[in-house]
Structure 1
């Protein structure tokens, strides 16, 4: 992979897109994870105003520490970085009281609340984007966005443009090394940070990103019967998630009214 050339290509793509959209720059939500660290650094390299937002909701201390260290390093390297801390914890708690979950701790309720966290962050990102004439930059990679759908519809999936969505997770790590991303972020197990328990992506999905990348590569031309052992397990996991995520990436169904009914 031509890492330097890819970085240059993405930076130019971001700069050109902002010019065509007549927007001043970018806003990126920074979580302390690898994807947001890479994306915020790519945005910073455009030279355009880049607002990085921390949007904690009952966030783990180690996630906050990584995000803050990344922002500190960004600001030391680039003079076009502005940061804001917007603690959404009380907003989220007010929401949970409003919907009155009570003692309901079942899996579906917890998943709905996890997605609500992501959607609250999307609201904050778009508030600042509209206020300042910025574009909301997505941080999803290819496996998350087009493989297993590991994002929240109208949450972290609600963005204006996606600079790394054509890169696999392992390729994002290659960019991170070239971009001098903090080693603690590179070494940290990937997590979406949407749960009270510190669940990693692997724990939620049941497979590692390299395993999912393998499944994504073989998926179009194979069936589960072509595999055995761990490969069969991973293929089944990928197949289940991929089928379930189609509503996230396909156009919203529109009921087309027959012309004779409109006359």
Structure 2
């Protein structure tokens, strides 16, 4: 019986692993719902941007979006909620914020369309400031040394992908996924082992009892044979007299 249970568990694990592997190999890649900005404008879709960002002005004055179709949001959680609920069709963010947002929601959203190089963040100094040359030199060194890339990776790499916790479409299997099966097989094997030991002990005791019974029978037969009276026969020659 234990062998049958182990074979059943092996079959279940094999089928589960095969299904999981097939799902991972055939999973569809994320595709943007909207391909370009013209589609958004022509469909009169609502789009979002960060609250207090210069992106709002750029969307209206340069890209030609209507003010009534622009919505501002304050946090990545609000971005995700609005996109998932369909409140907005897309959101425009500065590149650092966009990378941070995608690091947090790595399985639900994707970067689409071109990136626009526009003025944004910068340092402001008074005219003739003695710090200007030093700041320029420091920024150049940081850019050339790759320190900016390291800082960017450290910021986005430490963000936990929130989609990993709620990703039910492509589950992964581990030993914890089969703990019930392992408990079942372990319990069945233990019961089978206990049953085997008890049965073996019972057989041993039974054989011992049979041996004792046979020994007792043989002893009784031997004793009865020894107590049986002897028959004495006197031999005499033919024609003789006793």
TM-score under structure 1 length normalisation = 0.32
Higher relative contact order (CA 8 A, sep 6+): 2
